[in-house]
Copies of this chain bind each other. A is one copy, B any other.
Amino acid sequence: MFQTAELGQALSKKEFKQQERVLRTHLLALQQEVRKRNQFPVLIDFAGVRGAGKGTSVNLLNKWMDARWIRTHAYDHPTDEESQRPAFWKFWRHLPPNGQIGIHMSGRYSRPLLDYVYGEINEFHFKRALRRINNFEKALADDGAMILKFWMHISKDVQKERLETLENDPLRKWRMSEIDWKHYEMYDRFIEAAEQIISVTNTGHAPWEIVEGQDYFYRSLRVGEIIQDRMERHLVSEEIRQKYLAEMRQRMEEKAETHENEGINTSLTIFDQVDLSKEITKKQYKKQLPVAQAQLANLHAQAVQKNISTILVFEGPDAAGKGGCIRQITEVLDARYFKVYPFSAPTEIERAHHYLWRFWSCIPMAGRMTIFDRSWYGRVLVERIEGFAGDDEWRRAFAEINDFEEQLIDSGIVLLKFWLQISKDEQLARFQSREEIEHKRWKLQDEDWRNRERWDEYNLAAHEMIQQTSVKDSPWILVENENKHFGRIQVLDAVCSALENALAD
């Protein structure tokens, strides 16, 4: 694989200067076109052999283009912020929004490569890490992102020269460390692992480009040329794809209209099994509540000490009682250690990112509890039903969500997903009561009435959501909340029992 990048490719300074002028004009124009279109982000990754020109290439790109719309990020040892969260949090964090260019060094490939070469992970975990990267890149590419990955290569002999030169240069010597020679000794192992990485993660939507890094002039121009070529192609393909998606959406809507009211008449959903008559008396509630709350407060304090994070997700129809359930929980917790995020329509900057981005940014540090009042599941509920997410988009969201939650759980987070269920009649009653009681009136919006009209559609979408995302390690908990007291105690008990289990591990 790499012998094709040990040919001694080189350019004279004169040739370079001549071609550089043309190239940078093109690149700048393309960057502005990407910015103007504002439809997709550009992600460029640099990996490769030490001394093969990653740093100089990144600097040149920043010089050639307008650095104001480039977000360069070199990953180093993870900060506290980073190490206390799932590994991919830091990659989501630094994603460029639509219209901008992100350039990343020592990014998502760095850790698996080092860990594998050092023998700290076996092949199973190495491949698993690569699969996770593939999922990440696929999710972004499916959403329109342009992704390009450079492997900068030099031979072992050339690397030796490079390191010696650096070592003997008094001005640049500080950039050398013992690790550089150690890695030089391990050159062959690095190359072997790199070959596996490229084989597994070289996809049509996120290709690797291997560039020979020996000659500054050659490699710089080559990198620029590849980016130019790729951006040109992506601008065209994305334009056509957007047209395709728009046509697809329109055709599907037409089809849906002609098909309305077809289909099997009997369509039971999982909610038909929910026994909404379950209840406890107010007296029982008053007795049980303080006990459960005290237990929760105690368990949460232990979780904080043991650095166990918790994520609670609340979904359900409007007026299902999410707010009340959340309040029962938070009112007994130390406010330093929990956060509640209510989600409605995404903001402008959120819309300029992948839909999961705004949820990733809320992932807590170790020991915290984070409560989502509505969540990423909006993708397969409201966004599906209102048509904000196209057919392909919400369908592939199930796999993306399972992958996302797997990452949360793998990192040790206690994840609980509650679906609060009420009957359609109860919803009406609660709406009416909101209209009547002044201090509750703000809660009721025109949108709520509109959603109510589509009750059955929401029910079916939620049924499918549960089917696709209720997995062993992260099942949905269906809460009968017709009687709020019953539901609240059920939620409190579930949280306590999950924390108990996690603390016992």
Contact = CB atoms under 8 A, between A and B. Distances in A.
Interface of A: 1, 3-5, 7-11, 15, 19, 123-124, 127-128, 131, 142, 192, 195-196, 199, 202-204, 207, 210, 218, 221-222, 225, 232-233, 236-237, 240-241, 243-244, 247-248, 251-252, 255, 263-270, 272-273, 391-392, 395-396, 398-399, 402, 463-464, 466-468, 470-472
Given A196-B472, A203-B396, A225-B264, 11 more contacts: A3-B270, A7-B270, A9-B266, A11-B266, A123-B124, A127-B128, A199-B399, A199-B402, A218-B266, A240-B248, A244-B244
A215 to B, nearest CB: 9
Contacts of A196: 472
Nearest to A475: B1
A251 B225 contact: no
A222 B264 contact: yes
A53 to B, nearest CB: 15
Contacts of A468: 1, 202
B248 A237 contact: yes
Contact of A247 (B10, B240, B270): B240
A197 to B, nearest CB: 11
B237 A270 contact: no
Contacts of A1: 467-468, 470-472
Nearest to A469: B1
Given A4-B463, A391-B233, A202 B10 contact: no
A238 to B, nearest CB: 11
Contacts of A243: 244
Q: For the complex, would chain A's binding face be called helix, strand, loop or mixed by DSSP majority?
A: helix
Nearest to A272: B7
Contact of A244 (B19, B240, B264, B463): B240
Nearest to A15: B265
A199 B240 contact: no
B472 A19 contact: no
Nearest to A396: B204
Contacts of A392: 204
30 contacts: A3-B270, A4-B270, A4-B466, A5-B467, A7-B269, A7-B270, A9-B267, A9-B268, A10-B266, A15-B265, A15-B266, A124-B124, A127-B128, A127-B131, A131-B131, A199-B402, A199-B471, A202-B398, A203-B396, A204-B392, A204-B395, A204-B396, A204-B399, A233-B252, A233-B255, A236-B248, A236-B255, A240-B244, A243-B244, A244-B244
A467 B241 CA distance: 30
B9 A225 contact: no
B244 A241 contact: yes
Contacts of A221: 264
Contacts of A222: 264
B251 A472 contact: no
A472 B195 contact: yes
Given A128-B127, A264-B11, A264-B19, A232 B255 contact: yes
A309 to B, nearest CB: 22
A479 B243 CA distance: 48
Nearest to A468: B202
A466 to B, nearest CB: 6
Contacts of A124: 123-124, 127
Q: Which 8 A-B pairs have the closest CB atoms?
A: A204-B396, A4-B467, A124-B124, A7-B268, A244-B244, A4-B270, A204-B395, A236-B251
Contacts of A240: 244, 247-248, 251
Contacts of A233: 252, 255, 391
A247 B239 CA distance: 11
A261 B232 CA distance: 17
A472 B2 CA distance: 10
B195 A471 contact: yes
A468 B149 CA distance: 14
A185 B63 CA distance: 67
Contacts of A11: 264, 266
Contacts of A244: 240-241, 243-244
A264 B396 CA distance: 40
Question: Which of A3, A199, A392 has the most chain B CB atoms inside 10 A of its CB?
Answer: A199
Contacts of A237: 248
A466 B3 CA distance: 9
Question: Which of A243, A244, A255, A273 has the most chain B CB atoms inside 10 A of its CB?
Answer: A244
A381 to B, nearest CB: 15
A134 B142 CA distance: 16
